[in-house]
Amino acid sequence: MAAARMPREGRAQQRDNGSCPHFYLGKSSPSSPHPEARQLSPSQCVPGAFEAAAPALECRARESISDCWITPNKCGTITIENEITNPMTEKLELALKWSLNKYKYTRQLISEKLGHGSRTVDLELDYQIDILKDNKKKYNNILRLAQMFSSHLFHMVHIQKQLGNAFGDLSLKSLELQKEFGRNADTQKMVAKNGEILCVAINSFIENVNTLVNKTIKDTLLTVKQYETARIEYDAYRTDLEELNRGPLGPHSLPKIEESKLLFQTYKEKYEQLRNDVIIKLKFLEENKVKVLRSQLILFHNAIYAYSTGNQTQLEEILAQFHIKVKPGEKATPWFDEY
Amino acid sequence: MAAARMPREGRAQQRDNGSCPHFYLGKSSPSSPHPEARQLSPSQCVPGAFEAAAPALECRARESISDCWITPNKCGTITIENEITNPMTEKLELALKWSLNKYKYTRQLISEKLGHGSRTVDLELDYQIDILKDNKKKYNNILRLAQMFSSHLFHMVHIQKQLGNAFGDLSLKSLELQKEFGRNADTQKMVAKNGEILCVAINSFIENVNTLVNKTIKDTLLTVKQYETARIEYDAYRTDLEELNRGPLGPHSLPKIEESKLLFQTYKEKYEQLRNDVIIKLKFLEENKVKVLRSQLILFHNAIYAYSTGNQTQLEEILAQFHIKVKPGEKATPWFDEY
């Protein structure tokens, strides 16, 4: 925490020395007294490389944001001098903003990992997210098992067909065992046919659960990821504002606090917006998930049950009930072969 | 046929020139005028190497057989001079006999393949042997398919157990889908248990059919192989005798015909003995095969049928009926893992 504060103390001294106006001017002018700012390319602003130069960059980016983006009326003459349409300058400013944000994000994250600082917690929402993540793993496990099941069933059906033919052939050639070979041939062919229908039902189950898990749930978890990032950013700017409010008041303290308040407000809104998005998405996902899973679990259970009890009519009815069509030639293709 | 006759014509000339007494003497004495005969080791008498030296070897071996084995009283003085207890001489004589027999066998076989000469045919027996060989291939195919079936079933049972646990776990944690997950868990566990019993029944089927095919039938086919070899040898000596009877009569013709008759008789008896062995073995094999296969086909059919109709009680009764015990921990080990 002490390490995180040091750069900001240094920056405060710099601003107290009145270096700010020259800094803004230099940043946009070709004859800038701060050539290192112009030379800084976006690629140099990666989070790792940023750490060392963080205090100075933070100061400049903060000023940049406050002048050109959040408080354009402050230091008005300097803002007019800025070549806003210069793409290089714009890119540099964007890189600086990105770097500053990344730095604050990383600092907050490390601080949380080390158990320092404070973090905003929504117990109910976090619990729901944890449950969703855990369920996704569990559903993926069921998907994996169902895929393996489909694969083995497909091979078994193929073997049963071959066995049916082999027994049938021997029933014609072995007069003394004609009956025994014949009955085995008939049973193998019947079981193979049922297996083929079951394979189609299981492949449909896999396809629908796969869409739920790897599209719908994945999409919600993407919003959750954005929400989690927004929460860390929000906490980072909240901590900044709290530190400024707790710090000594200097000649530039009030504008800095104002800037910080605006930034805090921006990230707070972003966080709350994403939090609402997550809550809504979780609600709809839960409804959709229950609906899809209920339907698919009934399909899976009924198909397995009908197959296990040798009820071919029921198996065919299940396919019709779930609008699953069996195309000739594609009957029992295992799921993994389709994708 | 002309090529096959040539060596024998050459040999006949050799004997007419009176080279025989010297030949016998030299064969057993260390100071033999035929050192190549002593140097011939059994390893040199392989069928391939034999072809070139066949005429001379045939002459010597024929004399050896007629002197020491079949007509010991002919050229008596020379027989007394033979060191019968000398192991080297005995080995040499055995090698010569073996080589002569192999030569005659090969000559007859080539003659038959080329469509020359005559062969003894037992249509009824040959038909039975062909059927047995064809059946062995068919039973081996069923064995191979049953082994693959057992392997896939074993893996399916394993997957169904895992699915049962996964569904069971989710039924406890998903209140809204508790019933659907729960029913799936129960069905998977039930089907897995039935699959485990079916696996044991199929492994028993595989084990018994494997014993029938790769032990009992294999043993009969070994006797068939000996019978087929004896038939070719018999035909070879029969052709020899017929040729001698058709040929011109010389001073040594009658003893040669007598020798040939004795050899023919010996191989005829051997052939007939093996033919009888094959007939008896085929008869017993047929009875045994029908008995074993009937039992195993009933087991296979009933087990598959009970499994496919979800009749666990019937499955267990089948195991009891066929005295198949399920050892704990070894329940559904696939057949290929046991061997």
**Among partner residues B145, B177, B187, which is closest to A162 by beta-carbon distance?**
B145
Q: Which residue of A has its CA nearest to B157?
A: A149
R_g (Cα) of chain A, nearest Å: 33
> Measured between CB atoms, which of A149, A181, A294 is closest to B163?
A149
Closest residue, chain B, to A176 (C-alpha): B290
Q: How confident is the model at residue B84 (pLDDT cuts 50, 70, 90)?
A: low
For B54-83, what is the mean pLDDT? Answer: 40
CB contacts < 8 A (A, B): 116
Contact A177 B297 (CB under 8 A): yes
Mean residue pLDDT of chain A comes to 77
State mean pLDDT over A182-189.
96
Q: Which residue has the tokens 């029921």?
A: A314
- pLDDT winner (highest mean) among A60-64, B1-5, B40-44, B199-203: B199-203
pLDDT of residue B249: 81
In angstroms, the CA B93 to CA B57 distance is 11
Quote the pLDDT of residue B33: 34
Nearest Cα neighbor of A37 from A53, A16, A13, A21 is: A53
State the average pLDDT over residues B283-290.
94
Q: Quick check: B66 pLDDT over 80?
A: no
Alpha-carbon distance of A59 to A120, in angstroms, equals: 26
Tell me the C-alpha distance between B8 and B211, whole Å. Answer: 48
Q: pLDDT digits over A3-44, tens only?
A: 333 333 333 333 333 333 222 222 333 333 333 333 333 333
Question: Least CA distance to B160: which residue of chain A?
Answer: A149
Task: Tell me the three state secondary structure of residue B30.
Answer: coil
Helices (H), A69-177: 76-81, 87-113, 123-173
Residue B247: per-residue pLDDT: 84
Q: Stretch B10-36: mean pLDDT, rounded?
A: 31
Distance CA A191, CA B207 (A): 23
Q: Which two tokens stand for residue B58?
A: 């045939």
Burial B86-121 (b: 16+ CB within 10 A, else e): eeebeebbebbbbbbbbbbbbbbeebeeeeebeeee
Q: Which chain A residues have a beta carbon less than 8 Å from that of B135?
A: 170, 173-174
The predicted-structure confidence for A128-141, as pLDDT tens digits, reads as follows 999 999 999 999 99
CA angle B139, B144, B150 (to 5 degrees): 120
Q: What is the mean pLDDT of residues B163-191?
A: 95
User: End-to-end distance of chain B based on CA atoms, in angstroms?
Assistant: 50
Per-residue pLDDT, A97: 86
- How close B207 comes to chain A (CA, Å)? 17
Provide the b/e sequence for A110-127 (b: ≥16 CB within 10 Å).
ebeeeeebeeeeeeebee
pLDDT at A115 over 50: yes
Torsion A25-A28-A31-A37 (CA) sign: positive
Q: Quick one: tokens of A155?
A: 């091979």
Mean pLDDT of B306-331: 83
* Separation CA A170–CA A188 (nearest Å): 14
Cβ distance of A194 and B308 shorter than 8 Å: yes
For residues A14 and B83, what is the distance between their CA atoms, to the nearest angstrom?
123
pLDDT band at A329 (very low <50, low <70, confident <90, very high): low
Query: Which residue of B lies nearest to A167 if distances are taken between CA atoms?
Result: B142
Kindly compute the dihedral angle of the four CA atoms of residues B42, B45, B46, B48, in this order, to the nearest 10 degrees: 160
Mutation target to probe the A interface, by most A beta carbons within 10 A, among B153, B172, B190, B297 is B297
CA dist B308 and A310 (Å) reads 5
Mean of the pLDDT values across residues B15-32? 31
Average pLDDT of the segment spanning A82-93: 75
Residues of B near A (CB-CB distance < 8 A)?
A: 135, 138, 141-142, 145-146, 148-149, 152-153, 155-156, 159-160, 162-163, 166-167, 169-170, 173-174, 176-177, 180-181, 183-184, 187-188, 190-191, 194, 290, 293-294, 297-298, 300-301, 304-305, 308-310
Q: Does the pLDDT of residue B19 top 90, yes or no?
A: no
Give yes or no for residue B105 having a pLDDT over 50.
Answer: yes
Residues of chain B in contact with residue A155, where contact means CB-CB under 8 angstroms, are: 148, 152
> Could you tell me the pLDDT band of residue A325, with boundaries at 50, 70 and 90?
confident
Per-residue burial over B261-287, b if 16 or more Cβ lie within 10 Å, else e, is ebbbeebbebbeebbebbeebbeebee
Q: How confident is the model at residue B68 (pLDDT cuts 50, 70, 90)?
A: very low
CA distance A329 to chain B (A): 22
Interatomic CA distance for residues B94 and B226, integer angstroms: 20
How far, in Å, CA of A138 to CA of A117, rounded? Answer: 34
Q: At what angle do helices B87-113 and B47-64 cross, to 10 degrees?
A: 120
Classify burial at B171, counting beta carbons within 10 Å of its beta carbon; exposed 0-12, middle 13-18, buried 19 or more.
Answer: buried
CA angle B142, B146, B148 (to 5 degrees): 120
Hey, what domains does chain B have and what are their CATH numbers? 2-113 (no CATH), 123-338 (1.20.1270.60)
Token reading at A46: 């990666």
What is the mean predicted confidence (pLDDT) over A158-184?
Answer: 96
Average pLDDT, chain B: 77
Q: Mark B222-259 as b/e (b = at least 16 C-beta within 10 Å).
A: ebbebbbebbbbbbbbbbbbeebeeeeeeeeeeebbeb
Average pLDDT over residues A228-239: 93
pLDDT level of residue A253 (50, 70, 90 thresholds): confident
Contact A253, A247 (CB under 8 A): yes
3-state secondary structure of A121: coil
Query: Are the Cβ atoms of B159 and A148 closer than 8 angstroms?
Result: yes
Distance in Å, alpha carbon of B79 to nearest chain A alpha carbon: 59
Model pLDDT, residue B88: 86
Selected residue with higher pLDDT from A294 and A81: A294
The alpha-helical segments, DSSP class H, found in B212-326 are 218-246, 253-308, 312-321
DSSP characters for A298-336?
A: HHHHHHHHHHHTT-HHHHHHHHHHTT----TT-TT--HH
Q: Is pLDDT above 70 for B55?
A: no
Structure token pair of residue A325: 């069509």
Q: What's the pLDDT band for B40 if we cut at 50, 70, 90?
A: very low
Please judge whether B180 and A293 are an interchain contact, meaning their C-beta atoms are less than 8 angstroms apart. yes
The Cα B336–Cα B187 span in angstroms is 28
User: What mean pLDDT is predicted for residues A101-119?
Assistant: 87
pLDDT of residue B229: 94
CB A153 within 8 A of CB A202: yes
pLDDT for the residue A39: 31
pLDDT of residue A85: 60
Close Cβ partners of A143 (under 8 Å, ≥ 6 residues apart): A206, A209, A210, A213
Query: Residues of A with CB below 8 A from B127's CB?
Result: none
What pLDDT score was predicted for residue A249? Answer: 81
**Span A181-207, mean pLDDT?**
96
- Round to whole Å and give the CA distance between A173 and B26: 62
